[in-house]
Structure 1
């Protein structure tokens, strides 16, 4: 009993003090982190995924055709007997030149004749339609276009014959009036305007050619006065034509390697495939020709044709434009780079001064890109003015075995934040629009699908921690 009275109980004071101290340290750490994060802009992450960009660009293209100008052999007032954009057969009446200016008055005063088809003409037309209907095959739909052209031409010939008959009757009593009837010298689509583009090729065009405010077009109308040797009409005798667009180098990159591209005509909302030819390709602009063998007639009256290129979607890693940054790197010749000691990392031999004189130190480097002759090395690995020695070369060797660090190159990339801090990864851009960029997947020292990157590169520096 006496022994029990001598036992002294101690309170666990040290354990309580230790717990309070640990709690205080944790609390202080949290406060410091909150303070730092309040002073710095928050780095928002973005997960990289495989995606596409589908952006069809619109252009105001210049239409080039095989246009043949016809000059007037007479002076006087012109009157056309065919509608603009219609096909005229060889020797069809196209226009007349009235040297006195009276024919319009005579036509206006003459009684209106019946313009309906005769029984014989109607019978012939019906027979042609019935024959075509019986032989039509959906697999040869082009025959429908040929039949349509043939029918239009037949009706045009009938109309021309009547016009000639009417004018002949009207002018029968005016034989002294100088009226010259002019016929088509070749078959083709007839047009009554000229603008100086008739003989141009795609290679003749410049960026100024696409400026509509500088474009001058002259339309010749009925009763206009023309001089001998001046333009009176032109014709296009085939369906081969082209549309020429002015594009940025980035836009041209999407189509320059394509043989054909689908083109949507905004005027008719129809599409056709154009053969792609890059006519001019500079650092500032590209001129691209799209060649066609159909649809010319629908746009024969237009020099400028609004189109949309239906380019296939680009596929790759999709990132927001705000995440893209540029960073400088040292350019180090490959012959000065070696494997680092027992490590598989790359390193260089740097010449340094010590108490015992000059020595060579093995320095590991961070490489972000490899070209044929150089590595792009992180500027944190080395400093400007560092002297590098070739492997196996003596420290005090000649300058041919030395490389002075200084030359730099710039890489485009993003900040990878997978590890909790910002690490620059280079990218190779395939295509961009106003919001997103598609980049090449699986490049060396680059991004991978499902990596996390900084959404806004402008607020990030290399090695910044992500809070």
Structure 2
């Protein structure tokens, strides 16, 4: 009987319940998938942050220094020793040097001061001398090595100068009969070197002098023997001095209308403004720079390395690779709607259709605005608001600009270029329709179009 029993069992499907967690997960998954897909297929743009900066256009030169110099010679033969330091200012009747028939013996004080290391200023001077020598070294002018040796020796000897001066002064007080004291005839800056260029003037300077051809300087040191009539020191008697340069034709042409020029001294990075005069002698262009200050800083130098600052412009600094050219229609500003958001398109009927149009540049001088040539067809007729006047789009102008991507998509911004270097432009800041400090722009403007979404 049990095998013949009928079973009456009904199977019901489970009731479906909405799962909010799965739904949210699905939305996130779709979003991530779309983002990855857009990233893989989209236009990848490197970003550059606009910052304020400057560009200096300068050219490096080595110039010959001319000064009002007087060479003083020895009245008698003997060993010379000096009272003042080189480069110091001496007055008339100031003790300058003494002559003795024999070398003077100076006692070392043995103090810590005499044996201490060079000061920062002395180290900087030695470094500058060696760097200048290295930059201009010519194997055909080996005498420059000895000139460097003499300069460095002079700096090193200055460590014991105070002790030497004190002992010389004591010898004078003691009335040593060996000492013959000589005073300065006039005031000036005292130097202990000669080079034969002391009498050179702006009229007699030559190309070979500027290029250091056959240049040789003699450096006078303490306790060295000199003959009567030999130079013992020289005085620079005026703060007015000149730097003479050789210019190429292009630079001479660029500067010919200038009466002054800014310069930078490589020795200490000091800057100055010099009076400028350019003269043509034969095939060479001579630039004469005249200064009336800072002479004492470079009194011991016959040659000086400088940079002519031909241009010094500040503004917003952007890479050249960011800048592109784009065409725009020029339209009288009267055809822009009163709210400034678009123009009226004349379709031939009594009414006109409004179309949004962004202004990319405004020429206030000529009363023209610039509209994107890609957003409007050539020949499109615009109608002036509250008027029957019309204007057909035809005339185009080209603007240089960059793509601003602050909002995640490309927006053209025109730039006014002030100056340039090999890799960067300096552009005007603070103008309408242009860039601002800290804007983000595309590092390379090529291949990007208006309103492109960038990653």
TM-score by length of 1: 0.49
Q: Aligned partners of 2:47 and 2:74: how far apart in 1?
A: 76
The partner residue of 1:393 within 387, 391, 408 is: 387
Q: Aligned partners of 1:386 and 1:190: how far apart in 2?
A: 68
- Report what 1:336 is aligned to: 335
Deviation of the 1:386 alpha carbon: 0.8
The partner residue of 2:355 within 342, 363, 381 is: 363
Q: Aligned partners of 1:10 and 1:328: how far apart in 2?
A: 67
Q: Aligned partners of 2:202 and 2:50: how far apart in 1?
A: 57
Q: Secondary structure at the match of 2:373?
A: coil
Q: Secondary structure at the match of 2:451?
A: coil
Q: Do residues 13 (structure 1) and 7 (structure 2) align?
A: no
The partner residue of 1:443 within 402, 415, 431 is: 431
Q: Aligned partners of 2:434 and 2:202: how far apart in 1?
A: 59
Q: Aligned partners of 2:12 and 2:379: how far apart in 1?
A: 70
The alignment covers a number of residue pairs equal to 315
Q: Secondary structure at the match of 1:460?
A: coil
Deviation of the 1:271 alpha carbon: 5.8
Q: How does 1:49-68 map to 2 (within 5 A)?
A: 49=51, 51-53=52-54, 55=56, 57-60=58-61
Q: Secondary structure at the match of 1:458?
A: coil
Q: Secondary structure at the match of 2:35?
A: helix
Deviation of the 1:362 alpha carbon: 2.7
CA pair 37-270 structure 1, distance change in 2 beyond 3 A: closer
Q: Aligned partners of 1:258 and 1:23: how far apart in 2?
A: 75
Deviation of the 1:463 alpha carbon: 1.0
- Report what 2:290 is aligned to: 292
Q: Is the 8 A contact 1:345 1:364 kept in 2?
A: no
Which ranges of structure 1 fall in alignment gaps of 5 or more residues? 1-7, 66-84, 90-114, 136-143, 160-186, 197-211, 220-237, 280-286, 395-400
Q: Aligned partners of 1:278 and 1:368: how far apart in 2?
A: 45
The partner residue of 2:442 within 431, 451, 454 is: 454
Q: What's the RMSD between the two structures over aligned residues?
A: 5.9
Q: Is the 8 A contact 1:59 1:245 kept in 2?
A: no
Deviation of the 1:327 alpha carbon: 2.0
TM-score by length of 2: 0.50
Q: Secondary structure at the match of 1:42?
A: coil
Q: How does 1:14-413 map to 2 (within 5 A)?
A: 15-16=18-19, 24=26, 26-49=28-51, 51-53=52-54, 55=56, 57-60=58-61, 117-118=75-76, 131-133=92-94, 147=187, 189=201, 261-264=262-265, 273-275=272-274, 291-293=289-291, 307-309=306-308, 314-339=313-338, 344-353=339-348, 357=349, 359-371=351-363, 372-373=365-366, 374-394=368-388, 401-413=389-401
Deviation of the 1:278 alpha carbon: 11
Q: Aligned partners of 2:185 and 2:345: how far apart in 1?
A: 78
CA pair 272-133 structure 1, distance change in 2 beyond 3 A: farther
CA pair 36-257 structure 1, distance change in 2 beyond 3 A: farther
Q: Is the 8 A contact 1:58 1:308 kept in 2?
A: yes
- Report what 1:283 is aligned to: none
Deviation of the 1:132 alpha carbon: 4.5
Deviation of the 1:321 alpha carbon: 3.4
Deviation of the 1:239 alpha carbon: 5.5
The partner residue of 2:413 within 425, 450, 454 is: 425
Q: Is the 8 A contact 2:91 2:186 kept in 1?
A: no
Which ranges of structure 2 fall in alignment gaps of 5 or more residues? 1-10, 97-183, 215-239, 279-284
